Amino acid sequence: MLQSPNVAGFSSSSITRVILQGVNLEELRIEYTQRTLNESDVDPDPIRQFETWLEEAIQAGLREPTAMALATATPDGVPSCRMVLLKGVDCLGFRFYTNYESRKGRELALNPHAALVFYWAELERQVRVTGQVAKLSRQESDAYFQSRPLRSRLAALASRQSQPLSNREELERRMAELEQRYGRGGLVPLPENWGGYCLKPNSIEFWQGRRSRLHDRILYTLSDEGKWKITRLSP
């Protein structure tokens, strides 16, 4: 049974317990006991620290270790969030690719500030990143685009991302037409409305789950001089 709060009020007296099929969601919890995170253990450079954690996530065999939640917002602050895949990280920032006319693309065009979250549940770890986003060059976008599997390239042409679609058949028909045109090989052109972004971070927070919710949180913030400051945050 699902018990919903009185959304009109949201007072403490109106909020009831949420129970799904006999399970009380308030009672679902686990203890985090695998690792610790100390200031003395982390790399002075948060990008190198991130690369270490990412490599450990890959080596652990996690499903989609490069998956990250990307949060954007309109100029007046209305947020939206979705999962995308990290396609590169270096001293310049975190790279991903998408349709520029998608909701995230439209929001980034008007408000180029964004946030990322990586969550590796099996390792009891989370990384949060904030920063400013800029488009990658056409050359870099095309180099990545041409490295994708053929059907992924065709899907980028077929999909008018975030736009209304009358039915599934309409999308599949466009895909079939493109397969007929390009399926025998040849160069698939990079769509004008598709390409990459780089999020240049100004803060990166590393979170390690700990017992009794006394988690470790290490925050890197970028100073005006371009140097990273390390701070421990309360959990």
Instruction: Choose the catalytic residue: 17, 173, 213, 232.
Output: 213
Asked whether the CA dihedral 140, 145, 148, 100 is positive or negative, the reply is positive
Q: What is the 3-state secondary structure (H, E, C) of 88-156?
A: EEECCEEEEEEECCCHHHHHHHHCCEEEEEEEEHHHCEEEEEEEEEEECCHHHHHHHHHHCCHHHHHHH
Question: Is 72:83 a contact under the CB 8 Å cutoff?
Answer: no
Say how many C-beta atoms besides its own lie within 10 A of residue 52's C-beta: 12
Q: How far apart are CA 235 and CA 216, in angstroms?
A: 6
Q: How far apart are CA 5 and CA 8, in angstroms?
A: 9
Say how many C-beta atoms besides its own lie within 10 A of residue 183's C-beta: 12
Residue 168 known to be catalytic = no
Active site residues: 213
